[in-house]
Amino acid sequence: MSQTNSLGDAAESGAGLHAIGQRPSRTQEVFEALQLAIARRDLAPGSLHSAAELAETFGVSRTPVREALIDLASRGIIRFERNRGVRILRSTADDLREIFELRHLLEVHAARVAATSMSEGDIARLRAAFEALEKAGDEKDDRSYWAADRTFHHMILHAAGNERLTNIIGILRESILVPGATSAGRTRSLTQITDEHRVILSGIASGDPDQAAEAMRVHLQNTAENLISQEEDAER
């Protein structure tokens, strides 16, 4: 398939996908790499792929690829098609609106709670996650950036003390696999996204629940508007 060649070329140049290194959880590594590939549209919405092709692209065996694909399918991100492979599914603009309505309801509240419940140690760890995000942004390392972003948001959700809330948001976040820094004419730079996280951190670290909640609201609104605009453009 031509997609395999383009992905392989991107991986070789360092601009796209990269072979997975030796890590304790190979399936998790493949899962995260597939998420990023879908987010960056290296694996385009609607495209069809085989486990063998993806295993070759990522430089791993087929077993962790199959396991990661099963997880992605359970989240509605891909679909298995008998005797054909896996299809990358597209999120519609309406899907994104529904997801961000839920995220707004849950994560703004979590940020408010975090501002009054996080210990000094928690805040230090949140700051470290932010610094990792900032560093990845400066280095334009997409994979590390979105991993740090996930960690940052997870810490805030965990501080709310509701594991069901954390799990629900995790599923919602993984349903949105288009980063907020793509699509010509309707983009946000990683610097802009990082700055939004900086304000969230400031509100939590200073113990100001109103600032933390408002900063999270603005961040989610900006992300939603950007992604919905991208999807509406794609649907035209």
pLDDT value of residue 4: 39
Amino acid identity at 131: E
Give the span between the Cα atoms of 188 and 55, in whole angstroms.
Answer: 32
Identify the helix (H) or strand (E) that includes residue 144.
Answer: helix 142-159
What pLDDT is attached to residue 178? 46
Predicted confidence pLDDT, tens digits, the chain (236 residues): 434 333 434 333 333 444 444 333 889 889 888 988 887 778 988 899 999 999 999 999 999 999 999 989 988 889 999 999 999 988 788 888 998 999 999 999 999 999 999 999 999 999 999 999 999 999 988 878 988 998 999 999 988 887 887 888 877 777 665 444 343 334 678 899 999 999 999 999 999 999 999 999 999 999 999 888 877 877 66
Helices 190-205 & 120-138 angle (0-180, nearest 10): 170
Q: Give me the CATH topology for the region 93-235.
A: Four Helix Bundle (Hemerythrin (Met), subunit A) (1.20.120)
Is 2-88 a domain of CATH 1.20.120.1200? no
Q: What is the pLDDT of residue 129?
A: 97
Quote the pLDDT of residue 196: 97
Q: Which of 154, 226, 172, 174 is nearest to 39 (CA)?
A: 174
Domain range list for the chain: 2-88, 93-235
Gyration radius of the chain's alpha carbons: 18
Instruction: Find, among 196, 236, 192, the residue nearest to 217 by Cα.
Output: 196
- Per-residue confidence (pLDDT) for residue 121, from 0 to 100: 96
Residue 97: per-residue pLDDT:
92
Asked if domains 2-88 and 93-235 share a fold, the reply is: no
The helix/strand count (H/E) of the chain reads as: 10, 3
Q: Are 194 and 137 in contact (CB under 8 A)?
A: yes
